[in-house]
Structure 1
Amino acid sequence: MGSCVGCHVYCIPLPRVALHAKASSLSWQLKTLHGALISLNQLLSNHKTMSNHAQVLGEPTETTTSLVETATGAIQGFRPIKQIHEHLCAFHFYGYDMTRQVEAHHFCAHQNEEMRQCLIYDTPEADAKLIGLEYMISENLFLTLPDEEKPLWHSHLYEVKSGVLFMPRVPGPIERHGLDKVCKTYGKTIHFWQVDKGDNLPLGLPQLMMALTRDGQLDEELGREVEKRFGVSFEKERAKRAELTGPTHGIHPLANGGGKGLIPKLREVDCKPADSVPRVFV
């Protein structure tokens, strides 16, 4: 033991090996702490992003309600919901206003090989808002639609080839197989909840939504935020998808609103009385 100069505390000299081990341990702890701080910062950033969405009006779910939901969840089948097999993330804009763009998470099920039906949420989180619906059909089915119906449908070719439509966390080869089919389809989308306005309930008329069809349309800030949150690069995805092809006959000129904006209108009419409905007797 030795006494430090200027003090009366006796210290036990540590071997150099022990000092090196302590230094290595301290370095590892600092790196671990640094990594934890980065993760915490990302978590807070994501929480801040999510908290920007308006909270839904209403009282918190009661314990009794949760218990009932647990029971019904164990008893009932929920077969339509269990058919959902695919999660697509993309962007929609209002059919009459391209400046109003929203992140749209599609949870899709196949009716058959030529038709998907998708529930659309504003996020992929457990508390996400159900904001709309989308039906996706093949080119063959689209061509059977009346001409007055076709403008209500949008193409998916640009979304897929540009990389802005993707399947979160799905391995590349599997995603490519799915997107090869999506880029040949047309979609009809209705949103009921205008979350971009901060509405905390689904207010107003249902809105016809459209999809991006060329470069320069996507809101850059919204795009960067989604890329960061999901760890994707639209440019890298674009390069990987160069070989994908769209509808056999090209994009139909009447699709995508026929090149014009479309807005829903509410019109008051006389309501047909119940006694005018023909009755069927068996």
Structure 2
Amino acid sequence: MMSFKPINSIHQHLCAFHVYSHDRSRHVEAHHYCKHLSGEFHQCVIYDSDKPDAKLIGIEYIVSERVESGLLQLATKSLVPGAAADAAEQPAMLELQKTYGKTIHTWAIDISPELPLGPPNLMVSYTADGQGPPEEMVRKRDEEWGQDTATKKELRKGYLPPYEKVEGADEWEKTGRAVKFSVEEVALR
């Protein structure tokens, strides 16, 4: 008998955008399917869409302390309309606002859509206005999900406390340096 207990314990779907740590011109829509191991720690599998043929493109570990933005959306597509969806997502956004993710994409879906070739990539989220994905990506997602990112952002200002970044987080903003994984062949031990 097969068991799907780990998969069946996934209880949250978030839709966000990620950008490559080393190339801020490459943005990817990312559908997170998450399990909360505790209020302070979530683990997510990431797909390129919410469709039945979605491709598994990465993983993310989310730990406490995140960003006031409309880009992260609780995926309530047509299940809960309008204001009800906003109210339903408030507890999740309050919990996620002050978190950081360790996000690795194992499939560079934007340059190799057929197969997961090459090394994994460290992905990052956006930490300020103006860093987000191209407007057409956000518009496409909003149309598909019946949501409005700009309205969400304004609504969240009413209930999310001001964001204060933890010292040492998002070091790339200070250094201008990024992480890129590379493949290295070594002697077998």
So what's the TM-score if we normalise by structure 1?
A: 0.60
- 2-structure distance, mates of 1:255, 1:268: 31
Matched residue type, 1:120: I
- Name the CA distance, whole Å, in 2 between partners of 1:168 and 1:114: 21
Greater fraction strand: 2
Question: Which residue identity does 1:167 align to in structure 2?
Answer: L
The one of 138, 160, 164 equivalent to 1:244 is 160
**What 5-or-longer segments of structure 2 have no aligned partner?**
none
Identity of aligned residues (%): 41
Q: Secondary structure of 1:126's match? A: coil
Task: Find the aligned partners of 1:222 and 1:165 in 2 and give their Cα distance.
Answer: 13
**CA-to-aligned-CA distance 1:7-49 (integer Å, 9 cap, x gap):** xxxxxxxxxxxxxxxxxxxxxxxxxxxxxxxxxxxxxxxxxxx
Q: One-letter code of the match for 1:265?
A: S
3-state SS in 2 of match to 1:90: strand
Please name the residue that 1:211 is paired with: 125
Maintained 8 Å contact 1:184/1:245: no
Distance 1:257 1:83 in 2: 34
Counterpart amino acid of residue 101 in structure 2: G
Runs of 4+ in 1 over 4 A off after TM superposition: none
Indicate the SS of the match to 2:45. strand
Gaps of 5+ in 1: 1-74, 140-155, 273-282
User: Which residue pairs with 2:50 in the alignment?
Assistant: 124
Secondary structure, in 3 states, of the residue corresponding to 2:73?
Answer: coil
Q: Give the CA deviation at 1:216.
A: 1.5
Does structure 2 conserve the Cα–Cα contact (< 8 Å) formed by 1:95 and 1:263?
A: yes
How far off is 1:257 after superposition?
4.4
The correspondence for 1:182, drawn from 96, 100, 105, is 96
State the partner residue of 1:270.
187
Using CA pairs below 8 Å that are at least 6 residues apart, which structure has the higher relative contact order?
2
The residue number in structure 1 matching 2:64 is 138
Q: 1:83 to 1:215 in 2, by over 3 A?
A: same
Secondary structure in structure 2 of the residue aligned to 1:195:
coil
- Going from structure 1 to structure 2, the CA distance change for 1:83 and 1:246 (only over 3 Å counts) comes to farther
Assess if the C-alpha contact under 8 Å between 1:95 and 1:257 holds in 2: no
For 1:104, what is the secondary structure of its paired residue? Answer: strand
Distance 1:195 1:225, change over 3 A: same
Cα distance in 2 for partners of 1:108, 1:177 equals: 15
Q: Which of the pair is proportionally richer in helix? A: 1
Number of the residue aligned with 1:113: 39
Report whether the alignment pairs 1:83 with 2:26. no
